Amino acid sequence: MTSGRRGSHLARAEAAQLGGSPEAGVADGAASAMPSSPLRVAVVCSSNQNRSMEAHNILSKRGFSVRSFGTGTHVKLPGPAPDKPNVYDFKTTYDQMYNDLLRKDKELYTQNGILHMLDRNKRIKPRPERFQNCKDLFDLILTCEERVYDQVVEDLNSREQETCQPVHVINVDIQDNHEEATLGAFLICELCQCIQHTEDMENEIEELLQEFEEKSGRTFLHTVCFY
């Protein structure tokens, strides 16, 4: 990596968002530039409720082809006490969860933001989805905590390879609260926009992640799996 290219990915993405053309003189090899082929993105947390859905919401509004998932065996939402979570099956719809909590304690779940979150979620898709049950292919999978990252990588590596298409799995730790989910979602969106505008994703992604680590002060994990 040469120091002369430091920050070039961030500058390229920012210029693209502003409608500029920082790569106007780029060589013919740019025909394979990412913008001509939208990234297939997945965002994954544990229960497909807060962090992954906040990112799903923002990425969708930015025009990305995005899906979101959880990796847990059940969906868990905060309950009346730390040791008394509300536990649901992944087949339970967001609307059913909303009505269940509304019935249990409207004041509590309004005050802690859970009803607002579920209302947001049901406007995006009907129910949470479990990553291990999805066989669709993605270019980029972003996870919100290291445990989820490990579960995603383990699942991908356990599948029988069919196409040998690479998928980049990237983790950035995001605390599971509403404020951090929002900040994390914008960071994930900015990262996706930068990757979208790389000319050679396979060879530029490590340098890009280093730039993001220095800019955000967060540590990113990255590996490549194959379908």
H or E element, residue 221:
strand 220-226
Q: What is the pLDDT of residue 37?
A: 77
Provide the mean pLDDT of the chain: 89
What residues have CB less than 8 Å from 65, skipping those under 6 apart? 38, 39, 40, 41
Beta-strand pair 140-143/166-172: parallel
Q: Higher confidence at residue 156 or residue 13?
A: 156
Is residue 28's pLDDT more than 50?
no
Share of the chain above pLDDT 70, in %: 84
Which pLDDT belongs to residue 169?
98
For the residues 68-96, what does the mean pLDDT come to?
A: 98
DSSP alpha helices (H): ranges in the chain? 8-17, 51-61, 94-111, 114-124, 146-158, 178-196, 201-216
pLDDT tens figures, 159-209: 999 999 999 999 999 999 999 999 999 999 999 999 999 999 999 999 999
Q: Given this model, what pLDDT does residue 38 score?
A: 87
Q: Give pLDDT, residue 13.
A: 55
* pTM of the complete model: 0.87
Model pLDDT for residues 37-81, shown as the tens digit of each residue: 789 999 999 999 999 999 999 999 999 999 999 999 999 999 999
Nearest residue to 167 via CA among 178, 157, 182, 177:
157
The pLDDT of residue 95 is: 98
